[in-house]
Amino acid sequence: MMNRMECLQILADHVTDEIVVATYSSGTDWLAINDRPLNYFAFGAMGLASSHGLGLALACPEKRVIVLDGDGSLLMNLGTLVTIGAVAPKNFVHFVGRNGSYEANGGAPIPSQNVDFAAIARGAGIKSCHSFTKIARFEAKIATLLKAKGPVFADLVVEQGPLSDRDYSDMYAPTRRFAFRAALEGGT
């Protein structure tokens, strides 16, 4: 089992000009590690990070889009995997932090601890599916995953929290949306 913050730090070391769509626990942790204009936070929309990311990937085919999702969030919208598999955006990478819980909502367990999210994604038509339980293997593969032709799906088996501080007024601030839009328009 891996530490989510360590996984996100490894990812942050490789992120340059990609759009990063994050939700709930992954979002608060990502913000603490890598606050940047090309972050798009999808709070208040549990289960929709992958849908928001897919929309951005289709609208901005010249940009790589990285989605940071949770297992509880993905369970809320499994159908998105079928759509991602069908339209197969080449610029789409989907990471799911699997900690077996709805962590952001108090840590209640998801209905089953035996869900194989990579198998579900593969069954939905996503050809490049991976599962990671060891930080060294994840670190060794991250550069390849981020450059691979998408869609790419990676199940990251991680421990629960602790959660980073949450300041929703900051995350929802209009200045963040304006900065995101300016970064997209400016090509940065």
Average pLDDT over residues 139-149: 97
Task: Quote the CA–CA distance of 4 and 1 in Å, as a whole number.
Answer: 9
Task: Quote the CA–CA distance of 151 and 105 in Å, as a whole number.
Answer: 29
Q: Buried (b) or exposed (e) across 114-150, using 16+ Cβ within 10 A?
A: ebebbebbbebebebbbbbeebeebbeebeebbeeeb
| Domain-wise residue ranges, the chain | 4-186
Q: Buried (b) or exposed (e) across 46-73, using 16+ Cβ within 10 A?
A: bbbbbbbbbebbeeeeebbbbbbbbbbb
Query: Which residues does 167 contact at the CB level (< 8 Å), separation at least 6?
Result: none
Dump pLDDT digits (tens) for 94-121.
999 988 666 666 666 667 778 899 999 9
pTM of the model: 0.92
Residue 23 reports pLDDT greater than 90: no
Strand, helix or coil for residue 5: helix
Q: What is the DSSP string of 156-183?
A: EEB---PPPP--HHHHT-HHHHHHHHHH
The CA R_g of the chain, rounded to the nearest whole Å, is: 15
Residue 135 reports pLDDT greater than 80: yes
| Fold of the domain spanning 4-186 | Rossmann fold (3.40.50)
Spatial contact of 94 and 50, defined as CB atoms under 8 Å apart: yes
Dump pLDDT digits (tens) for 50-77.
999 999 999 999 999 999 998 988 998 9
The pLDDT of residue 1:
87
Token couple for 47: 């289960």
DSSP summary character for residue 150 = S
